[in-house]
Structure 1
Amino acid sequence: MGLVPKLWGHGECQCVGAAGSVGGVACLWNPLRLHLVWWAMSRSSTSEVLSSLEIGEVVLFSNIYAPIDLPCKHNLWSHVAGMRRLAPFHPWIMAADFNAILELSEKKGGVVRLEPSSVLFQDSISRLQLVDIKPSNGVFTWNNRRVGENWIAEWLDRFLWNRQGFGNIFREKKAAQIVLSEITREIREHGLSKDFLREEDKAVKVVEEWETREEVYWKQRARIDWLKEGDKNMTFFFNSVKARRHENSIPILVNDRGEQCLSLEEMSREALQFFQSLFKEESQGETEEENLVLACIHSLVSREMNEQLLGPILMEELERIVFHMRKGKALGPDGFLIEFFQEF
């Protein structure tokens, strides 16, 4: 890897050499803008804690060229998790060729299925609280350079960032706004100068950077996928998150005896009993009075309707339901998206 520092010139870098024609990864940075605090390497990755000389922010940056075989992938993710434990509070950016897809939609051609390496990839991202950054143009980053039925393309290269780093957005944005307000006050009291103008421009850029991060944060939390970058709608995104959280929460359950269930354990037990009794076949009335009452209730399901409900499921019915389902949804623990069934 001696060629990389030579080509990079006066910049700094950390490199892991390739094993023959496989692997090899390098992290390059400008020492005039970033200061290396500490670094670590493995056979497939480099991790650097870099400090910005302009705004003073410290970031953990990991570069990965993932191996092919599963045991080595397990070792890689253990090493990456160890790096995170050494820098638990800094924003974390990961650039990598993971040699694995996350979803079935990230592959075209060949056998389209989720391998164990993809399951490991999904579990690692969830466990380390990483967020996948979707590309603005295209999806596939690799193809086998063949044509026709032999063509295979996959999305293997991607950037990830951690959610915890975004937890400091609101504090950092507030601090940046205070700095900008102080500079504005100084200009108001002492007049504008080149030094004040330079400091003000720098402070404005810092505030705008944190505003952009806040906007992206709320967009991802709100899952509003039809709005584009640049819309200054943090209030809308925040309200969307609160609305979704409110709709998805059950603070209290009241059972058929009128008793309130407040704890998660009580609500889980009550919900289980309710649905067990709901779907259990009930017998006819056990007393003559009950049978007389039941005889007065007209049946809402005719014999023809009942036969239709109990009849075999038609392929036309399945196709109509499948093709009306929203894209991007997984049907169950197998991870197959609805696009798979709509296409194949």
Structure 2
Amino acid sequence: MERQGQAEELTEGEGPSQGLMKIVSWNVRGLNAPNKQRLVKRCLSSFSPKLVLLQETKLGDAELASFGNRLGFRKITGTPSIGASRGLAIIWDPHSILLSPLVSNLNWMSGRVTCLKNNLDFVIVNMYGPILNDDKKRVWEEIKNFTSTLSQVCFIGGDFNAILHQHEKQGGSSNNAWASLDFADWIHRSGMLEINMVKDAFTWNNWRLGFSNIAEKMDRFFVLGSLINFPFTLEASILPFSRSDHFPISLDIQREASPKRCPFKFENIWLKDDHILELLKEWWNGAMVLGSENFKVVNKLKIIKKSLIQWNREHFSDIFDKKAQVEVELAKVNKQVMRYGMDETLFLKEKKLMADHESILAKEEFFWKQKSRETWLEVGDKNTKFFHNSVRMRRVRNHISRIKVSNGSEVVNPIIIAKEVVDFFSLILNSDWSPHNLDQDMFIKSIPRLLNKEHFDVLNAKFSLAEVEAALKQMSPDNSLGLDGFPTSFFQLKALLVRFGFEIGTHLAEFVAFRAIFL
């Protein structure tokens, strides 16, 4: 069903993305009418996407070719409709990218995309999900089998005709929970990660009023494949532009900005070194700090940070460079074996290199495990790629690409965003201004006192070392870093609390317990 009336105009501040590439996916619900074809051309001129995925074109081969002739310099390829349903198309800008068609059928089509102006190379899949669950499962398995053969990063976008969670649907009958579980199972088995929308929720709407209104999130983008060597950020959004019952969705691929400042972070991988505990003892005991006990603890941690940074630079080295060097040496040994055969010298050298390689791979997996913050998977099961992809997706979720300021407008410039954030919190912290304008004294006085002196004594009692240790043991080792850059795993070291003569008195217990509350 098509939405009546004119298409929504672009909101203020919208326009062509300044990113590296914009991909738009849209279920147009038919391109037979001239006004719908004009609408697609207007979408191309308004948002300037390099790649457009269209579903339900309802065009045969001849009509698709005729529509392609009206696109000017852009090119189009697609699969024909069956009667008055289905039909897929991909439109691309040949001045910016090369598209090599791969597999195509009634419900999905794919192509390899190579950018002409940078080293961006990936596979794109345009998906239109069937209505019936059995047909969905068949199509999902086809895509899973296809993507399992790929070596490049792959993006899958389109109308999946399925939702993952009940909150992705509003109105109408309850969602089929088993269908959502099947959808989630396919995503997990395929190793895909969803690129979440930065705002808004629903991509499809039946445009009815009151209790008859139904809205769902049926359109989305997924990414799969190793993102280790993919130095780009990903951002998906819903475009306010439609005369179909589906809104277009867009995927912006942008070059990853290098951070201006890299704060200290204690890496759990350092604990794999045989000498790290003795070094920590030496650095701690060698730090001469005067002042209160808490002051000593804080400043000794600062001294340890400096020592760790220097030690990491001089002795621990970069595991990724080490891995590359070992792999080069292994390749040289293999070439010698192929040319001259195996001898004792080559055998021993290969054995040592293989052991070094396994050790580095274990450290690499441990490294990405900490950064991924995933607690339900354990190291040792070759999950490095999953952990790394989780890190990339977490960074995408945490990235602030736009904010709404006090006058209601949206800001996208990173410099202005930083200034607005600083100004906002400066206003709160440096003045008596309150966001809710509440009289806090009156509010506190209105709360009845239910605690007696015994309760206050218990709550104000100093922490014991046993309580601190018990609390620390219950915390995840990879919990969020504190402002000092040390994770929970550092304070869980038995050496810190017992073996190496650190200040184990009440003051350290208070400091660790106080800090642990904020982790």
TM-score, structure 1 normalization = 0.51
Question: What's the counterpart of residue 200 of structure 2?
Answer: 138
Question: What's the counterpart of residue 44 of structure 1?
Answer: 107
Matched, 1:84 2:147: yes
Question: What's the counterpart of residue 296 of structure 2?
Answer: none
Question: What's the counterpart of residue 73 of structure 2?
Answer: 10
SS at match of 1:121: helix
What residue ranges of structure 1 are gaps of 5+ in the alignment?
174-207, 233-239, 252-344
User: What CA distance in whole angstroms lies between the structure 2 residues aligned with 1:23 and 1:38?
Assistant: 19
Q: Is the 8 A contact 1:14 1:26 kept in 2?
A: yes
Q: Is the 8 A contact 2:171 2:215 kept in 1?
A: yes
Matched, 1:168 2:214: no
User: What CA distance in whole angstroms lies between the structure 1 residues aligned with 2:192 and 2:67?
Assistant: 29
User: What CA distance in whole angstroms lies between the structure 2 residues aligned with 1:130 and 1:212?
Assistant: 26
SS at match of 1:160: strand
Q: Is the 8 A contact 1:103 1:114 kept in 2?
A: no
Deviates more, 1:209-218 or 1:74-83: 209-218
SS at match of 1:166: coil
Q: How many residues align?
A: 204
SS at match of 1:169: coil
- CA deviations 1:147-181 (Å, max 9, x no partner) are 1111111111111112x3312236x99xxxxxxxx
SS at match of 1:79: helix
Matched, 1:158 2:394: no
Equivalences for 1:276-291 in 2 at 5 Å? none
Equivalences for 1:173-192 in 2 at 5 Å? none
One-letter code of the match for 1:135? M
Deviation at residue 6 of structure 1 after TM alignment: 2.5
- CA deviations 1:200-246 (Å, max 9, x no partner) are xxxxxxxx713379999746337975x623599xxxxxxx9943698
Q: Which of the pair has the greater relative contact order for Cα pairs under 8 Å at 6+ separation? A: 2
User: What CA distance in whole angstroms lies between the structure 2 residues aligned with 1:95 and 1:211?
Assistant: 25
User: What CA distance in whole angstroms lies between the structure 2 residues aligned with 1:40 and 1:54?
Assistant: 26
Question: What's the counterpart of residue 67 of structure 1?
Answer: 130
Matched, 1:29 2:29: no
Q: Is the 8 A contact 2:168 2:202 kept in 1?
A: yes
Question: What's the counterpart of residue 160 of structure 2?
Answer: 98
Deviation at residue 116 of structure 1 after TM alignment: 3.3
1:243 to 479, 483, 487: 479
User: What CA distance in whole angstroms lies between the structure 1 residues aligned with 2:142 and 2:394?
Assistant: 29
Equivalences for 1:294-333 in 2 at 5 Å? none
User: What CA distance in whole angstroms lies between the structure 1 residues aligned with 2:72 and 2:392?
Assistant: 39
Relative to structure 1, the CA distance from residue 165 to residue 43 in structure 2 (aligned partners, 3 Å threshold; closer, same or farther) is: same
User: What CA distance in whole angstroms lies between the structure 1 residues aligned with 2:159 and 2:203?
Assistant: 9
Matched, 1:211 2:257: yes
2:121 to 30, 54, 58: 58
Q: Is the 8 A contact 1:169 1:210 kept in 2?
A: no
SS at match of 1:73: helix
User: What CA distance in whole angstroms lies between the structure 1 residues aligned with 2:202 and 2:213?
Assistant: 12
Q: Is the 8 A contact 1:14 1:46 kept in 2?
A: no
SS at match of 2:255: helix
1:129 to 164, 169, 191: 191
Relative to structure 1, the CA distance from residue 7 to residue 115 in structure 2 (aligned partners, 3 Å threshold; closer, same or farther) is: farther
Relative to structure 1, the CA distance from residue 118 to residue 35 in structure 2 (aligned partners, 3 Å threshold; closer, same or farther) is: same
SS at match of 1:51: strand
Question: What's the counterpart of residue 282 of structure 1?
Answer: none
One-letter code of the match for 1:9? G
SS at match of 2:256: helix
- CA deviations 1:278-300 (Å, max 9, x no partner) are xxxxxxxxxxxxxxxxxxxxxxx
What residue ranges of structure 2 are gaps of 5+ in the alignment?
1-58, 234-253, 260-370, 372-387, 402-413, 419-475, 482-486, 493-519
Question: What's the counterpart of residue 317 of structure 1?
Answer: none
SS at match of 1:78: helix
Relative to structure 1, the CA distance from residue 223 to residue 50 in structure 2 (aligned partners, 3 Å threshold; closer, same or farther) is: closer
Q: Is the 8 A contact 2:228 2:389 kept in 1?
A: no
Q: Is the 8 A contact 2:196 2:397 kept in 1?
A: no
Q: Is the 8 A contact 1:166 1:217 kept in 2?
A: no
- CA deviations 1:292-322 (Å, max 9, x no partner) are xxxxxxxxxxxxxxxxxxxxxxxxxxxxxxx
Q: Is the 8 A contact 1:222 1:241 kept in 2?
A: no
SS at match of 1:123: helix
Deviation at residue 247 of structure 1 after TM alignment: 6.8
Q: Is the 8 A contact 1:23 1:67 kept in 2?
A: no
One-letter code of the match for 1:133? I
Q: Percent identity?
A: 23
Deviation at residue 63 of structure 1 after TM alignment: 0.4
SS at match of 1:211: coil
